[in-house]
Chains A and B, each alone.
Chain A
């Protein structure tokens, strides 16, 4: 297939439809409207495709939960304030073990914040966000091509583990146009026994998250926890960029990681050996890989478009084995590679 030039929001939507997504519900919010509009336009041409503009983000997440229960591949998308509203449904989908994709094109917060790119929703995404003992797989693409590939993979992950998966990007990723190639999706494997389609002549089924007996509920929680352990073991993704000879490694994801790559190029041009460790899954966090790197690299700079959230996961991963500095720009401010290079250069000089 040929390369096509598309905005990130449209890439996610197209990749989803190609992956077999046949139900989308969403509520308009900037900076992700192109995704909703793309679904409105293209879902009607997809066989059995359903698009609903919901009355709220709360309704949208519960619509995809209902559709997922029937065995259809589902997606909803929103941006930060809207994702807060979806948390009830995400918790419910995790409890009921319903697969589905939630896209968060992050903007500045807290509150209504602004519509500029930001990474302030890391805690909300990686810590569950809603109530109760559950986790959400969180994927953070950094290029248009990754938006295409990882969106398709997200559907497979959601099915495989019967759990909601979040794609966490920001306004920059959503709006930016890049050339992408859509890969061929893998055939879906999702057993019919998990689908609610009417009992026919057989036994009726029910899907629920309410378990009034605490012992039953405890067992359900442990069952979910065991599933999350398997995910942590098998599904962690990260990228290491120019770390082999590095004296200092920047830890960044998504748009921040792209800015970091620009900064690293400048720093290398000035003889400073700087590399990048980029988590691609934010939950599960590539903890062991980062800890392994600390055997040879002792200085790290965590760089986020927030006041420091992933920073906590980096501290947990490095367990005091290395020095950790932080640079952040919250609230929708996007630093340039030159700004970051200056920050890194100061630390680099100091550490010798």
Chain B
């Protein structure tokens, strides 16, 4: 009998995505679902989707989910995890949700060292509302609310969430990845798995920032979008591991009486 090498993840419902063609959410949803399947944690996972394009994530993930008001995912996820410490709790957030309206909730959940995982989609633009400037929009990048390009004098600078969060005492594992290439997709999946494992081992706050495609609002083809991530976006937001205290946290946990 032939060996199955590719199938629909069990933790992903068979609904058709509402996402635009080429959107990175579809890839990341699948990666998260594959990790949940492989780790066998579907029954104990609770997800918190954001306001933004992924607001309908509960139509796709076949795990328990609760919608958060815009930006409040990490506050909700913190409470859920504190009440149910043996569940796996993740918040799924975009760049507006995490780095603008929800920066306080996100930063303080990270700083408290909440034992949750944040999947952070950075596509440098507000997708759902139609392509407005995001906190991660690049300088001189044109959006519908920065029609002449983002000006640092008026709009400030791109917010580098992984760099900032890695400075916080409460964070254990922070990695920035990209889904612009097959290698990047594989790396992203590994990072998501590592982040979930960090949580399961009780080691504290983990976040995977993912540079993701938004061909519709970037007004590019999917292929050009991938190229733009590699050539432009990842120069401002270099992929890499920004913090990995997993080994240290493990030692501390083992040394504890």
Contact = CB atoms under 8 A, between A and B. Distances in A.
A64 B69 CA distance: 13
B155 interface: no
A208 interface: yes
Interface in B61-82: 61-69, 72, 75-80, 82
B78 A204 contact: no
A66 B72 CA distance: 10
A198 B87 contact: yes
Interface in A193-220: 196-202, 204-210
Contacts of A72: 83
Interface in B135-171: none
Given A55-B104, A198-B44, A210-B55, A23 B66 contact: no
Interface of B: 42-46, 48, 55-56, 58, 61-69, 72, 75-80, 82-84, 87, 104-105, 107-108, 112
Contact of B67 (A50, A55, A204, A210): A210
A197 B55 contact: no
B120 to A, nearest CB: 18
A206 B80 contact: no
A162 B61 CA distance: 25
B95 to A, nearest CB: 19
A55 B105 contact: yes
Residue among B65, B72, B83, B84 with the most chain A CB within 10 A?
B83
Nearest to B65: A206
Q: Which 4 pairs from chain A and chain B are nearest by CB?
A: A66-B76, A66-B79, A206-B58, A62-B72
B78 A63 contact: yes
Interface string A131-154: 000000000000000000000000
Interface residues of A, number: 39
Given A199-B42, A204-B63, A207-B66, A66 B80 contact: yes
A70 B77 CA distance: 11
Nearest to A63: B79
Contacts of B72: 58-59, 62, 88-89
B242 to A, nearest CB: 22
A58 B66 CA distance: 17
A66 B43 CA distance: 18
A338 interface: no
Contact of A207 (B44, B56, B67, B82): B67
Contact of A197 (B87, B105, B112): B87
Interface in A84-114: 88-89, 92, 96
A205 B47 CA distance: 11
Given A58-B105, A206-B58, A52 B79 contact: yes
A197 B64 contact: yes
B165 to A, nearest CB: 15
A88 B55 CA distance: 17
A265 B257 CA distance: 65
- Best-surrounded residue of B42, B75, B80, B84 (most CB of chain A within 10 A): B75
A62 B67 contact: no
A56 B74 CA distance: 13
A206 B83 contact: no
A208 B64 contact: no
A23 B108 CA distance: 18
A129 to B, nearest CB: 14
B17 to A, nearest CB: 15
28 contacts: A23-B79, A23-B82, A50-B79, A50-B82, A56-B105, A58-B105, A62-B75, A62-B79, A62-B105, A66-B66, A67-B79, A67-B80, A69-B76, A72-B83, A196-B46, A196-B64, A197-B64, A197-B84, A198-B84, A198-B87, A204-B42, A204-B62, A204-B63, A206-B64, A206-B65, A208-B58, A210-B55, A210-B67
A200 B79 contact: no
B36 to A, nearest CB: 11
B58 A59 contact: no
Contacts of B75: 54, 58-60, 62-63, 66
A201 B66 contact: no
A65 interface: yes
A25 interface: yes
Contacts of A64: 79
Contacts of B78: 52, 63, 66
Contacts of A58: 72, 75, 104-105
A208 B66 contact: yes
Contacts of A63: 75-76, 78-79
Contacts of A201: 43
A332 B140 CA distance: 51
A242 B62 CA distance: 61
Contacts of B87: 197-198
A60 B108 CA distance: 12
A65 B72 CA distance: 10
Contact of B43 (A23, A48, A88, A200): A200
